[in-house]
Amino acid sequence: MTLPPLKLFLLFSLFSISFSHETPSSHDHHHVFPRPLILEYSELEEEVRLRCSSWRFAGEANNLSPWKTVPKECAEYVKEYMTGKGYVYDLEIVSKEAEEYAKSVQLNEDGLDAWIFDIDETLLSNLPYYAAHGFGLQVFDHAKFDDWVVKGVAPAIEPSLKLYEDVLNLGYKVILLTGRSEQHRAVTVDNLINAGFRDWHQLILRGSDDKGKRAVIYKSEKRSEMEKDGYRILGNSGDQWSDLIGSSLSVKSFKLPNPMYYIS
Protein backbone atom coordinates (compact mmCIF):
# COMPACT_ATOMS: atom_id res chain seq x y z
CA MET A 1 0.00 0.00 0.00
CA THR A 2 1.39 3.41 -0.97
CA LEU A 3 0.96 6.22 1.57
CA PRO A 4 -0.13 9.66 0.32
CA PRO A 5 2.61 12.32 0.41
CA LEU A 6 1.01 14.16 3.36
CA LYS A 7 0.87 11.03 5.53
CA LEU A 8 4.46 10.19 4.64
CA PHE A 9 5.52 13.69 5.69
CA LEU A 10 3.69 13.38 9.06
CA LEU A 11 5.11 9.92 9.66
CA PHE A 12 8.71 11.02 9.07
CA SER A 13 8.09 14.10 11.23
CA LEU A 14 6.98 11.91 14.13
CA PHE A 15 10.03 9.66 13.75
CA SER A 16 12.21 12.74 13.69
CA ILE A 17 10.66 14.11 16.89
CA SER A 18 10.89 10.73 18.57
CA PHE A 19 14.56 10.23 17.79
CA SER A 20 15.41 13.82 18.66
CA HIS A 21 14.16 13.12 22.23
CA GLU A 22 15.61 9.65 22.60
CA THR A 23 19.06 10.19 21.02
CA PRO A 24 20.49 13.44 22.37
CA SER A 25 23.83 14.72 21.21
CA SER A 26 26.90 13.63 23.11
CA HIS A 27 27.47 17.00 24.76
CA ASP A 28 24.17 16.95 26.69
CA HIS A 29 23.35 13.27 27.11
CA HIS A 30 24.23 13.40 30.84
CA HIS A 31 21.16 15.64 31.43
CA VAL A 32 18.74 13.03 30.08
CA PHE A 33 17.52 10.09 32.16
CA PRO A 34 16.91 6.81 30.31
CA ARG A 35 13.26 5.80 30.15
CA PRO A 36 13.66 2.83 32.55
CA LEU A 37 14.87 5.19 35.30
CA ILE A 38 11.81 7.39 34.84
CA LEU A 39 9.61 4.36 35.24
CA GLU A 40 11.54 3.33 38.34
CA TYR A 41 11.09 6.81 39.83
CA SER A 42 7.35 6.58 39.25
CA GLU A 43 7.26 3.17 40.91
CA LEU A 44 9.31 4.50 43.82
CA GLU A 45 6.88 7.38 44.26
CA GLU A 46 3.98 4.93 44.39
CA GLU A 47 5.90 2.77 46.86
CA VAL A 48 6.37 5.76 49.19
CA ARG A 49 2.68 6.61 48.94
CA LEU A 50 1.68 3.05 49.81
CA ARG A 51 4.09 2.88 52.73
CA CYS A 52 2.85 6.22 54.08
CA SER A 53 -0.74 5.07 53.72
CA SER A 54 0.15 1.96 55.72
CA TRP A 55 1.91 4.12 58.32
CA ARG A 56 -1.19 6.30 58.70
CA PHE A 57 -3.43 3.25 59.00
CA ALA A 58 -1.18 1.79 61.69
CA GLY A 59 -1.38 5.08 63.57
CA GLU A 60 -5.15 5.24 63.41
CA ALA A 61 -5.32 1.63 64.61
CA ASN A 62 -3.00 2.47 67.53
CA ASN A 63 -0.41 -0.03 66.33
CA LEU A 64 2.53 2.39 66.24
CA SER A 65 4.98 3.02 69.04
CA PRO A 66 4.85 6.59 70.41
CA TRP A 67 6.18 8.96 67.76
CA LYS A 68 7.17 12.62 67.80
CA THR A 69 7.00 13.67 64.16
CA VAL A 70 5.62 12.51 60.86
CA PRO A 71 8.25 10.45 58.96
CA LYS A 72 10.13 12.79 56.67
CA GLU A 73 9.25 10.81 53.54
CA CYS A 74 5.55 11.03 54.47
CA ALA A 75 5.38 14.81 54.92
CA GLU A 76 3.90 15.46 51.48
CA TYR A 77 1.50 12.53 51.83
CA VAL A 78 0.16 13.86 55.15
CA LYS A 79 -0.18 17.35 53.69
CA GLU A 80 -2.18 16.05 50.72
CA TYR A 81 -4.39 13.98 53.01
CA MET A 82 -5.10 16.77 55.49
CA THR A 83 -5.87 19.35 52.79
CA GLY A 84 -7.73 17.00 50.46
CA LYS A 85 -11.06 15.20 50.35
CA GLY A 86 -9.81 12.08 52.11
CA TYR A 87 -9.63 13.77 55.51
CA VAL A 88 -13.07 15.32 55.07
CA TYR A 89 -14.63 12.01 54.03
CA ASP A 90 -13.05 10.24 57.01
CA LEU A 91 -14.40 12.89 59.39
CA GLU A 92 -17.84 12.58 57.86
CA ILE A 93 -18.05 8.82 58.22
CA VAL A 94 -16.92 8.92 61.86
CA SER A 95 -19.51 11.57 62.69
CA LYS A 96 -22.23 9.71 60.79
CA GLU A 97 -21.55 6.47 62.66
CA ALA A 98 -21.48 8.33 65.98
CA GLU A 99 -24.78 10.00 65.14
CA GLU A 100 -26.41 6.66 64.30
CA TYR A 101 -25.24 5.24 67.60
CA ALA A 102 -26.39 8.31 69.55
CA LYS A 103 -29.88 7.98 68.06
CA SER A 104 -30.05 4.28 68.88
CA VAL A 105 -29.64 4.74 72.64
CA GLN A 106 -32.68 5.05 74.88
CA LEU A 107 -31.74 7.84 77.28
CA ASN A 108 -32.80 7.95 80.90
CA GLU A 109 -34.91 10.80 82.21
CA ASP A 110 -32.52 11.81 84.99
CA GLY A 111 -30.28 13.87 82.68
CA LEU A 112 -27.13 11.91 83.54
CA ASP A 113 -26.41 10.34 80.16
CA ALA A 114 -23.23 12.02 78.95
CA TRP A 115 -21.22 12.39 75.76
CA ILE A 116 -17.61 13.54 75.99
CA PHE A 117 -15.88 15.58 73.30
CA ASP A 118 -12.20 16.42 73.08
CA ILE A 119 -11.57 19.87 71.57
CA ASP A 120 -8.41 20.13 69.43
CA GLU A 121 -8.74 18.22 66.13
CA THR A 122 -12.10 16.96 67.39
CA LEU A 123 -14.31 20.06 67.59
CA LEU A 124 -11.84 22.77 66.60
CA SER A 125 -9.33 22.46 63.77
CA ASN A 126 -5.76 23.65 64.23
CA LEU A 127 -4.97 22.93 60.59
CA PRO A 128 -3.94 26.58 59.93
CA TYR A 129 -1.31 26.24 62.64
CA TYR A 130 -0.01 22.89 61.42
CA ALA A 131 0.05 24.09 57.81
CA ALA A 132 2.66 26.60 58.96
CA HIS A 133 4.61 23.91 60.82
CA GLY A 134 4.99 21.13 58.29
CA PHE A 135 1.75 19.26 59.00
CA GLY A 136 3.45 17.40 61.85
CA LEU A 137 6.94 17.24 60.36
CA GLN A 138 8.27 19.63 63.01
CA VAL A 139 8.64 18.61 66.66
CA PHE A 140 5.71 19.98 68.67
CA ASP A 141 6.46 23.33 70.29
CA HIS A 142 4.17 24.06 73.25
CA ALA A 143 4.98 27.77 73.34
CA LYS A 144 4.23 28.30 69.66
CA PHE A 145 1.03 26.29 69.89
CA ASP A 146 -0.08 28.29 72.94
CA ASP A 147 0.46 31.47 70.93
CA TRP A 148 -1.90 30.05 68.32
CA VAL A 149 -4.50 29.04 70.94
CA VAL A 150 -4.51 32.54 72.41
CA LYS A 151 -5.57 33.94 69.02
CA GLY A 152 -8.86 32.08 69.44
CA VAL A 153 -9.47 31.68 65.71
CA ALA A 154 -9.51 27.88 65.26
CA PRO A 155 -12.42 26.99 62.94
CA ALA A 156 -15.01 24.32 63.62
CA ILE A 157 -14.65 20.85 62.19
CA GLU A 158 -17.97 20.87 60.37
CA PRO A 159 -18.92 17.16 60.65
CA SER A 160 -18.17 17.35 64.38
CA LEU A 161 -20.29 20.47 64.75
CA LYS A 162 -23.23 18.63 63.20
CA LEU A 163 -22.70 15.64 65.52
CA TYR A 164 -22.38 17.97 68.50
CA GLU A 165 -25.70 19.64 67.70
CA ASP A 166 -27.42 16.30 67.14
CA VAL A 167 -26.12 14.92 70.44
CA LEU A 168 -27.35 18.02 72.27
CA ASN A 169 -30.77 17.85 70.65
CA LEU A 170 -31.10 14.19 71.58
CA GLY A 171 -30.75 15.12 75.25
CA TYR A 172 -27.21 14.07 76.13
CA LYS A 173 -25.22 16.09 78.64
CA VAL A 174 -22.22 17.32 76.67
CA ILE A 175 -18.93 17.42 78.57
CA LEU A 176 -15.83 18.91 76.94
CA LEU A 177 -12.62 17.33 78.20
CA THR A 178 -9.45 18.90 76.80
CA GLY A 179 -5.72 18.87 77.41
CA ARG A 180 -5.66 22.65 77.14
CA SER A 181 -4.55 24.53 80.21
CA GLU A 182 -6.98 26.16 82.62
CA GLN A 183 -5.29 29.48 81.86
CA HIS A 184 -6.79 29.26 78.37
CA ARG A 185 -10.37 28.84 79.56
CA ALA A 186 -11.65 32.27 78.49
CA VAL A 187 -10.15 32.18 75.00
CA THR A 188 -11.28 28.57 74.54
CA VAL A 189 -14.86 29.45 75.50
CA ASP A 190 -14.90 32.39 73.08
CA ASN A 191 -13.38 30.31 70.29
CA LEU A 192 -15.91 27.52 70.76
CA ILE A 193 -18.87 29.92 70.77
CA ASN A 194 -17.61 31.81 67.72
CA ALA A 195 -17.17 28.50 65.90
CA GLY A 196 -20.80 27.54 66.61
CA PHE A 197 -20.60 25.34 69.70
CA ARG A 198 -23.01 26.07 72.55
CA ASP A 199 -24.78 24.77 75.64
CA TRP A 200 -22.16 22.33 76.88
CA HIS A 201 -22.66 21.12 80.44
CA GLN A 202 -19.02 21.18 81.57
CA LEU A 203 -15.71 22.34 80.15
CA ILE A 204 -12.81 20.56 81.85
CA LEU A 205 -9.25 21.82 81.30
CA ARG A 206 -5.93 20.86 82.88
CA GLY A 207 -5.48 22.48 86.27
CA SER A 208 -2.27 22.88 88.24
CA ASP A 209 -2.74 19.41 89.78
CA ASP A 210 -2.86 17.86 86.31
CA LYS A 211 0.38 19.37 85.06
CA GLY A 212 2.80 16.75 83.77
CA LYS A 213 0.31 13.90 83.74
CA ARG A 214 0.12 11.76 80.64
CA ALA A 215 -3.04 12.50 78.72
CA VAL A 216 -4.42 8.98 79.14
CA ILE A 217 -4.05 9.25 82.95
CA TYR A 218 -5.47 12.76 83.14
CA LYS A 219 -8.51 11.95 81.03
CA SER A 220 -9.15 8.63 82.77
CA GLU A 221 -9.15 10.42 86.13
CA LYS A 222 -11.61 13.04 84.88
CA ARG A 223 -13.94 10.36 83.50
CA SER A 224 -13.76 8.55 86.84
CA GLU A 225 -14.84 11.76 88.58
CA MET A 226 -17.79 12.03 86.19
CA GLU A 227 -18.89 8.51 87.06
CA LYS A 228 -18.62 9.29 90.77
CA ASP A 229 -20.94 12.22 90.13
CA GLY A 230 -23.46 9.77 88.66
CA TYR A 231 -22.91 10.34 84.95
CA ARG A 232 -23.19 7.47 82.52
CA ILE A 233 -20.62 8.02 79.77
CA LEU A 234 -22.36 6.67 76.69
CA GLY A 235 -20.24 8.27 73.96
CA ASN A 236 -16.77 9.73 73.62
CA SER A 237 -15.25 11.47 70.57
CA GLY A 238 -11.55 12.25 70.25
CA ASP A 239 -8.71 12.36 67.73
CA GLN A 240 -6.15 10.65 70.03
CA TRP A 241 -6.29 7.18 71.50
CA SER A 242 -5.39 8.78 74.83
CA ASP A 243 -8.78 10.52 74.65
CA LEU A 244 -10.56 7.19 74.49
CA ILE A 245 -8.62 4.46 76.33
CA GLY A 246 -7.54 3.95 79.94
CA SER A 247 -10.17 3.55 82.64
CA SER A 248 -13.78 4.65 83.11
CA LEU A 249 -14.41 4.10 79.41
CA SER A 250 -17.48 5.20 77.52
CA VAL A 251 -19.94 2.61 76.25
CA LYS A 252 -18.78 3.45 72.74
CA SER A 253 -15.90 5.60 71.52
CA PHE A 254 -15.26 7.27 68.18
CA LYS A 255 -11.74 7.98 66.91
CA LEU A 256 -11.35 10.89 64.51
CA PRO A 257 -8.43 10.82 62.05
CA ASN A 258 -5.24 12.71 62.87
CA PRO A 259 -1.89 11.70 61.36
CA MET A 260 -0.18 14.98 62.33
CA TYR A 261 0.70 14.28 65.95
CA TYR A 262 0.52 11.69 68.71
CA ILE A 263 -0.31 12.32 72.37
CA SER A 264 0.07 9.60 74.96
pLDDT band at 25 (very low <50, low <70, confident <90, very high): very low
Q: How far apart are CA 209 and CA 102, in angstroms?
A: 33
Q: What is the pTM of this model?
A: 0.84
Residue 145: how many CB atoms within 10 A of its CB? 17
Q: How far apart are CA 264 and CA 66, in angstroms?
A: 7
**8-state DSSP, 154:** P
Sign of the CA dihedral running 223, 229, 235, 238: negative
Dump pLDDT digits (tens) for 123-174: 999 999 999 999 999 999 999 999 999 999 999 999 999 999 999 999 999 9
Average of pLDDT values for 76-105? 98
E strands in the chain: 113-117, 173-181, 202-206, 232-238, 252-255
Distances (CA, A) of 218 to 5, 213, 224, 255: 83, 6, 10, 18
Q: What is the DSSP string of 24-46?
A: --GGGGGGS--HHHHHHHHHHHH
Distances (CA, A) of 67 to 56, 64, 134, 196, 231: 12, 8, 15, 33, 34
Sign of the CA dihedral running 49, 52, 58, 63: positive
pLDDT at 13 over 50: no
Residue 86: how many CB atoms within 10 A of its CB? 14
Dump pLDDT digits (tens) for 29-76: 433 434 444 445 577 799 999 999 999 999 999 999 999 999 999 999
* Beta-carbon contacts of residue 26 (< 8 Å; ≥ 6 apart): none
- Write the class of the CATH domain 48-255: alpha beta
Residue 11: how many CB atoms within 10 A of its CB? 11
pLDDT at 217 over 90: yes
